[in-house]
Chain A
Amino acid sequence: MPSTQYLNDLTIQVRRDILRMVHKVNSGHPGGSLGCTEFLVALYNVIMTRKEGFNMDGIGEDLFFLSNGHISPVFYSVLARAGYFPVEELSTFRLIDSRLQGHPTTHEGLPGVRIASGSLGQGMSVAIGAAQAKKLNGDKHLVYSLHGDGELQEGQNWEAIMYASAKKVDNLISVVDLNGQQIDGSTDHVLPMGSIKQKFEAFGWTVVEIEEGNNIVSILEGMSEAKSKTGQGKPVCVLLKTVMGHGVDFMMYTHAWHGKAPNDEQLAVGLSQNPETLGDY
């Protein structure tokens, strides 16, 4: 297992990637990306069992589906730095002819991506299908998915949440990024959802809460607990409490940076708060 120091260094490097990627094209979604950086770093470098290379079928390894596809900057950076494609390719994010589309897609053949996402609310259904395929194949590996909290306002999620428990899809860990923010404001302002924990529990899921979703150690502990609860007849939901824009002080605790890129000056401030660790692309 990589050291905590390495994971922290990687986290900071990924943050730099995110900021530089969205700054270059003056578009993209830094807020949610920064909030989920620790989680995706931990997922790809510690939590998941992955095979070398990339095979769409994913047989014999854990799988991950990003449902809230707009946080593509963090996804791309983590994938590249996990070896799926050259780190230099991050410089093509959102540019014409790039494999790194604004939202992730299989269409351009980018290794590491198994489904297109962006139109919200579809990823849990896909993850369930992949999990049921694993059961049919006798493959004991797990399927992970990540969803925004605002994304839960899409009705398809609740079809999927109802189905997963009814059909005992217990090789699935669906993680909800609870940052409390969405485009038009806080989730409580836009559409208060009440207790997401109680909702998942009422739908028959096992729920694990990670209070410090921007702390690598807390994430590893929480996900370890989540893994231990798979295979017991219920799907597992992880409520990951994060801060949108984490690691860049002026982007934190606000929805303002959901889909806005920093200008030159803001980029410089953001990068200065995240000094280079493993080398920029």
Chain B
Amino acid sequence: MKTYTYTEKKDTRSGFGAGLAELGRTNPNVVALCADLIGSLKMEKFIEENPERFFQIGIAEANMMGIAAGLTIGGKIPFTGTFANFSTGRVYDQIRQSIAYSGKNVKICASHAGLTLGEDGATHQILEDIGLMKMLPGMTVINTCDYNQTKAATIAIADYEGPVYLRFGRPTVPVFTPADQTFEIGKAIKLTEGTDVTIVATGHLVWEALEASKMLFEKGISAEVINIHTIKPLDETAILESVAKTGSIVTAEEHNIIGGLGESVARVLALHKPMPQEFVGTNDTFGESGTPAQLMEKYGLNAASIVLKAESVIKRK
């Protein structure tokens, strides 16, 4: 079985900052907007190198989304930066009307998504953003798993014409994807080959899925792990090819199971190949204060939970 290792842990938001800085050097149409969270979004380098292409909006996210939509009229490619909660739930109608329905080329870049924001608690830990964004017609939804993938995704979405929601997080997590891996929107990445169960994971849960696959291997269970960084458009082919082999599937995400990746996968299976599925995610609940590790443990978003779900889904075959 293929195993993955890492030499350092980094935050995915720093991958965004690095990608944005690179875009600042390579694409003169890229502009950045922030609602008073420059440091949290790691946007300093872009701002330092391109002060005229940065717009500090202040604590006014609705205005930021509208200004971003307006900047596209004139050929700019705006990247907005704030926390995931304020990037989506707070400004849903602005995104819906001024960006998605208007077909504007805005890149909504959202940090501090999910429970791993930690101690700030439920007001800031959005677990519904993937659902909100994937429901918008024409919106591409991406949730990256580590520093390298976030950097690559940030660069890739500048070349894609259309609105994109790019979701990443606050804590440091293992860097295990290759630094030179090209990011292809909508193209899943198979991380391990397996025959007993497919584990489809996104964001911070991808590493946990790899850890789970090792634990399962020791129990004699062969798991195929797929990194599904793009939730919409979903790589249906990759999922269906995998489950044709394994006959069961576990989805894993740092998000409510209602409205998340798991439901998108379930739809694909219901249409093409109904089979047992188990869901790793929060279950219709808000988060709370705590360390990221404590929260992921309490809400069942770690390797151990994935192992349990894998074992139970296999029994349902």
Contact = CB atoms under 8 A, between A and B. Distances in A.
B285 interface: no
A111 interface: no
Most chain-B CB neighbours within 10 Å: which of A56, A132, A159, A167?
Answer: A159
Interface string A104-121: 011100000011111100
B67 A126 contact: yes
Chain B contact residues: over half helix, strand or loop, or mixed? helix
Interface string B79-104: 00000000000000110111001111
A4 B250 CA distance: 71
A159 B75 CA distance: 24
A59 interface: yes
B102 A129 contact: no
B69 interface: yes
B101 A124 contact: no
B283 interface: no
Contacts of A106: 101-103
B98 to A, nearest CB: 5
A160 B74 contact: no
B286 interface: no
Most chain-A CB neighbours within 10 Å: which of B57, B94, B96, B102?
Answer: B102
Interface stretch (B58-66, B185-193, B212-220): B58-66
B52 A115 contact: no
A115 B58 contact: no
B67 A136 contact: no
Contacts of B113: none
A281 interface: no
A159 B69 contact: no
B73 A107 contact: no
Contact of B52 (A116, A131, A136, A139): A136
Contacts of B269: none
A63 interface: yes
Contact of B73 (A119, A123, A130): A130
Interface string A56-85: 111100010100000000000000000000
A163 B98 contact: no
B69 A126 contact: yes
B94 A156 contact: yes
Contact of B102 (A115, A125, A132, A166): A115
A125 B94 CA distance: 10
A137 interface: yes
Interface string A4-47: 00000000000000000000000000000000000000000000
B38 interface: no
Given A129-B68, A136-B52, A163-B63, A57 B103 contact: no
Interface string B41-73: 000000000001101011010111111111111
Contacts, number: 118
A163 B101 CA distance: 24
Given A124-B66, A126-B69, A136 B97 contact: no
A134 interface: yes
Contacts of B62: 122, 125, 155-156, 159
Contacts of B75: 57, 59, 133, 137
Contacts of A133: 70-76
Contacts of B78: 129
A126 B60 contact: no
B73 A114 contact: yes
A175 interface: no
A126 B70 contact: yes
Most chain-B CB neighbours within 10 Å: which of A128, A136, A162?
Answer: A136
B271 to A, nearest CB: 27
B71 A115 contact: no
A127 to B, nearest CB: 6
A10 to B, nearest CB: 27
Contacts of B66: 122-126, 128-129, 156, 160
Contact of A129 (B52, B58, B71): B71
Given A107-B102, A137-B75, A131 B70 contact: yes
Given A116-B102, A117-B97, A130-B71, 15 more contacts: A56-B73, A58-B73, A58-B74, A105-B101, A106-B102, A118-B97, A119-B93, A122-B66, A125-B98, A129-B73, A136-B31, A136-B53, A139-B74, A156-B94, A159-B62
